[in-house]
Amino acid sequence: MEKPKLEKFWSPSRGNGLRALASLRPGELLFRSEPLAYTVCKESLGVVCERCLCRYGANLLTCVCPGM
């Protein structure tokens, strides 16, 4: 198992935090998690499905994605 590059910590003045334990490269993936919530940005409204975020075209009205 790879050594963790981040650790959670708690600060009395700032609360919960996350800090690096090793040198990090630009663009390196540090953390991945399922989103708690999401929304479609203004530029993508009507271009992507608002449920699964798949790109279908300019006039998408309903989700037609398999499994939805």
Residue placing its CB nearer to Zn ion in the complex, 6 or 52: 52
Candidate list 17, 21, 52, 62; residue touching Zn ion; CB under 5 A:
52
Residue nearest to Zn ion (CB): 49
| CA distance linking residue 48 with residue 41, whole number of Å | 10
Candidate list 18, 21, 45, 65; residue touching Zn ion; CB under 5 A:
65
Write out the H or E segment, with its range, that includes residue 18: strand 15-20
21 binds Zn ion (CB under 5 A): no
| CA distance linking residue 68 with residue 55, whole number of Å | 15
